[in-house]
Amino acid sequence: MAREDIEGSIAHATMLGECGVLEKSEAESICEGLRGILGDLESGKLSIDPEAEDIHTFVEGELTRRLGDAGRRLHTARSRNDQVAVDDRLYLKREVGSLRGQIREMIGVLCRKALTYSDAVMPGYTHLQRAQPVTFGHHLLAYAEMFLRDEGRLADAAKRMDYCPLGACALAGTTYPIDRARTAELLGFAGPTRNSLDSVSDRDFCLELSSAIAIAMVHLSRFAEEIVLWCSWEFRFVELDDAFSTGSSIMPQKKNPDIAELVRGKTGRAVGDMVTLFTVMKGLPLAYNKDMQEDKEAIFDACDTLRMCLTAFLPMVDTMKVRTENMRAAAAQGFINATDCADYLVRKGLPFRTAYRIVGSIVAYCIDHHLTLETLPVEQYRAFDAHFGPDVYDAISLEACVNGRKVLGSPAPENVRAEARRILKRIGMSET
């Protein structure tokens, strides 16, 4: 966090100079020295001393080496407690912005694919059993909705961490006439924190961010699990590009969905980071405690894990080949239009429960005689109930089943296209 630490110090020194706590010329000299240190660190001319206690003491020590006593004055009216708190917030604000951008890219890929496959019929599942027909576009938009919520959670977390703790000092503020609002303004915060004890002991922003990241990783894991299933010979709904799969060391026919499996596995790591942070904080009295040093490894790892997984997952989904013919063939089996067959009888005047029972008997008959609802002769339909007529085949066609579901949120292709375009507009992305 060298950049964040130095940025915080520049803002602090600037404010001290404006308030008269330091001479303006001295504050300007400190700021210039800090910019030089940052430039040298980023160019590689200067390396962080591993023997330094922490980044704060390293920067202050290097500044003192360059400026003498002026460097020692930088720490006036602050503590490492409020210093590390502001460094954390500055760093994580940037991380959140980057992660939100990646999630929006993921949503964009899903919406564009949904437009392409808005009418590609596939089975919808409950309990991993074929249930009712949907479209692949509709299925993808379910994940777009999840990631929209993830992006919103990250935005909320960023909003609540956007307050500057500098000036809270160790725990009780300072007697120097400083301007905390000015420091917050210089660092781009919405304002200063309002209680000095809370300012240095608050890590809610880490807990909230880790929770949002864990939920996003769970969504990626669920999607990864479906991709693993879809790639199997039992499904064969999609085929991953070779860049996102590997072969077996001894079985030449294998094409393993390694990236999806790794993302699924990394989810446990992100959830573990969240549990670590909650466990660290659960028993801490006010104000600062050394336990809080454990926050960084966990929250940084959570951010890195989500970023890494999104970096690999996004192009994997974008480049995967969709086998619409296999999806359509799977949808034609399993009697997933049975509900529509019952609805057909309801439209003829039967109560739904009566229709449900009749269609259940028809399905059992079809199974025993190796038939489907589409291939069962109309005469046999009428043997179960006289309300059946030749128009039953139109009612139970998979396309009719999908196209007729036009209620908001349902999988009719026109709904899918409208929803994909609505989401793309919401996140500021184009259809191409």
Please report the pLDDT score of residue 245 as a whole number. 85
As a whole-number percent, the residues of the chain with pLDDT over 90 amount to 93
Give per-residue pLDDT as tens, 48-83: 999 999 999 999 999 999 999 999 999 999 999 999
Report d(CA 24, CA 22) in Å as an integer: 6
Res. 333 pLDDT band, cuts 50 70 90:
confident
Report the predicted TM-score, pTM, of the whole model to 2 decimal places. 0.92
Please report the pLDDT score of residue 191 as a whole number. 98
Work out the mean pLDDT of the chain and round it to a whole number. Answer: 95
Is residue 28 within 8 Å of residue 90, measured between CB atoms? Answer: no
Mean pLDDT, residues 271-284 taken together: 97
Report d(CA 83, CA 91) in Å as an integer: 12
Mean pLDDT, residues 323-329 taken together: 96
Report d(CA 427, CA 432) in Å as an integer: 14
Residues noted as catalytic: 127, 248
Task: Give the start-to-end residue ranges of the domains of the chain.
Answer: 2-76, 81-184+194-329, 338-396
With H, G, I as helix, E, B as strand and everything else as coil, classify residue 377.
Answer: coil
Res. 310 pLDDT band, cuts 50 70 90:
very high
Give per-residue pLDDT as tens, 197-252: 999 999 999 999 999 999 999 999 999 999 999 999 999 999 999 999 876 655 65
Placement of tokens 């191409």 in the chain:
432
Please report the pLDDT score of residue 320 as a whole number. 96
Please report the pLDDT score of residue 253 as a whole number. 60
As a whole-number percent, the residues of the chain with pLDDT over 70 amount to 98
Could you say which architecture CATH assigns to the domain 81-184+194-329? Up-down Bundle (1.20)
Superfamily of domain 2-76: Fumarase/aspartase (N-terminal domain) (1.10.275.10)
**Domain 338-396 adopts which CATH fold?**
Ribonucleotide Reductase Protein R1; domain 1 (1.10.40)
H or E element: which one contains 163?
Answer: strand 163-164
Is residue 188 pLDDT above 90, yes or no? yes
